[in-house]
Structure 1
Amino acid sequence: MSLPRLSLQVLDAFEQVARLGSMKRAAEAMGLSISSVSHHVARLEEALGVTLIDRSARPFALTPEGREAFRHLSAGLQHLRRATSETVVGGLLGARSLRVGIVEDFESGVAPELAVTLARRMPRAALSIRTILSHEAVGLLARGALDIAVAAEAADLPPDLPVAPLVRDPFVLAMPREVETTPEDLLRGRPALPFLRFNRDHLIGRQIEAQLTRNRIAPPDRYAFDSAHSIMAVIAGGAGWSILTPLGCLRASRYAAQVRLHRLPLAAFSRRISLLARPDFDPPVAEAIAMLLRQAIGRLVVAPVLADHPWLAPDFTILGPDGNPG
């Protein structure tokens, strides 16, 4: 069977529509008009001779053929994107060393995959990958202890610091599954379940406290922890509730069965995880590594979280180089 002659943009358009569940969102992610995305999907359907999207459903849904096509095309495009990124990295990383810092949210899946890729592409270079805290990133880069850092962005980043956005990580409310109450009542102190804070020395702790202050919410200051893992363990034990992010919840997935996540009954807010680089670091190399990270985070982090909590879309999403959902 001969392959249909289709552009990669046609395949990408269908994958984006299938993944995002909307022509409009796909158009925004690709920087195209809705009519262009619709035209690309129609071209793919014509070339394959099948209907991929049931447009009569509200919201529209993939047909059985569409689900099968999405599975195969998504895997193929993922390999192509990764090959492209790795080729760029391989061609540009002529340095004798690379020092990378990554927040602990990624230490179990994303960091090891990045380490394998870079080690394969830099066989003669010294490679260092270490776990850092987000509030340490700028100082470590400024002192020359790191070349690049993957961390949550602070509001006061130096203006000359190169930034490549990776993922938007929204804040959610987490409570024990066995507790019968609403997020609104928890914020009002009913029942009197302790609020589990992040330490204020941490960037995430300061971000949450600022939002609580803006909303004139002041839970008793009894518990403070350094990690989402510890907070999730206490919530799973029924001893408190907290505000954290999907990344933190995924890292403590062993407790997920005992924890319920909810939208915050406040104005939505989130943190942005980005790749930060030294001002003198090669921009093409930084963006190539960012591309590898986006792919790994999308596959290993965003996809499994959205499978369990589809209501988090589109807030929990990969970001393109321009900071928009990509």
Structure 2
Amino acid sequence: MNMTKGLSLRSMEIFVTVVEKGSMSEASKHLNMTQSSISQHISNQERLFSTTLFDRTVRPLAPTPAGHTYFQYAQQVLDQVGIMWSTLQKINIVPLNQIRIAVIDTLADTLVPELTYKIGQILPKGSIKITSGQTDDHRDALLNRRTDIIITMDPMIDVDNMERHPLYREPFLMALPENSPYQADDIEQLYDKLPFIRYSPKLPISRLIEQHLRRLRLNIPHRFELDTTRAIMPLIAAGRGWTLTTPTGLLDSRHSLKNVKIIPLPFTNFHRDISLVARNKELGKLPKELAHLCKKHLKNVALAEITKKMPWVIEEIKFF
């Protein structure tokens, strides 16, 4: 006799949820399923076992004696499946002989040394490859299996089978020369006197800034286009222009900020989110562990340095 024929772990999980929630309607909300679909799963199990699992004459819905017995066994089975899943994921990490991580360029100097050290502890054997670069390149590398984990502006919500760990949200701010005569209530005065330094249009951060400026109907002329905050800040320190950037963008060029003034935006604020993304269920708990590590390091170590220059900004940075 084939006892597993027609037996489904998903149906078992649905049955347990109905018992725990006390009704099919509440279970449907919890499981994001239609009530009719849940009812069909229950009916299929009753036919499979040739018994009634729920007393439908009472409210809240209650299991019959057979249903109560099934509930106890189903809980044990699902618990064991959870343990099996966790164990297999841990086993899957052990034989890794290489881990490849790509970090958004503005966080490279801040995170790469810490990631290298910590991953070396988590995975004492094998090689660790960490690269930096641009968000669009990292997306392509993850999709084409040239890297395993990316830290990025792009959470890749349009791609199935990815696990996403939001790290933090940070505001955009304005960076301009220390001795600039700019007044917060007159942005036109600023760009009449100093050119706007723009990030290269191929970069996601540039596209985000330009979209926001268009929403505000601000057509700000620019003279320079550069790829990195590290390249932009020396120009601003020398009095050659101004830009819009982010706190962690400034971390990348923190040694060039001596003659740079950082102020909140004089118009509607906007932000960017940074996430850690990996292919789903391929690396066990490693992506989650690294996400926690990144947040802890940025919050407790790296941002402490940059907020000395702009203490007001720490309240606007949200760690997920």
Alignment pair present for 1:161 and 2:143: no
Q: CA deviation at 1:261?
A: 0.8
Match of 2:16 in 1: none
The one-letter code of the counterpart of 1:313 is I
Change (3 A) 1:114 1:248: same
The one-letter code of the counterpart of 1:95 is L
SS in 1 for 2:217: coil
Alignment pair present for 1:123 and 2:124: yes
TM-score (norm 1): 0.66
The question of whether the paired residues in 1 share the 8 Å contact of 2:191 and 2:220 is answered with: no
Report the structure number with the largest CA radius of gyration. 2
Alignment pair present for 1:174 and 2:175: yes
1:197-239: CA deviations, max 9, x gaps? 0011000000000000000111113211000011111110001
1:229-248 matches, cutoff 5 A: 229-248=230-249
**How well do the aligned residues superpose, as a CA RMSD in angstroms?**
2.4
- Unpaired runs of 5+ residues, structure 1, are 1-87, 320-326
Change (3 A) 1:93 1:287: farther
Number of matched residues?
232
Distance 1:150 1:112 in 2: 14
Distance 2:280 2:224 in 1: 39
Distance 2:314 2:120 in 1: 34
Match of 1:216 in 2: 217
Distance 1:188 1:161 in 2: 46
- Unpaired runs of 5+ residues, structure 2, are 1-88
Change (3 A) 1:177 1:123: same
The one-letter code of the counterpart of 2:169 is R
Q: CA deviation at 1:155?
A: 7.7
SS in 1 for 2:307: helix
The one-letter code of the counterpart of 1:233 is P
Q: CA deviation at 1:287?
A: 0.5
SS in 1 for 2:308: helix
SS in 2 for 1:201: coil
The one-letter code of the counterpart of 1:217 is L
The one-letter code of the counterpart of 1:237 is A
TM-score (norm 2): 0.67
The question of whether the paired residues in 2 share the 8 Å contact of 1:147 and 1:277 is answered with: yes
1:135-154: CA deviations, max 9, x gaps? 22221100000110011126
Distance 2:284 2:165 in 1: 10
SS in 2 for 1:162: strand
1:261-311: CA deviations, max 9, x gaps? 111122211111110112342352210111111111112322222333221
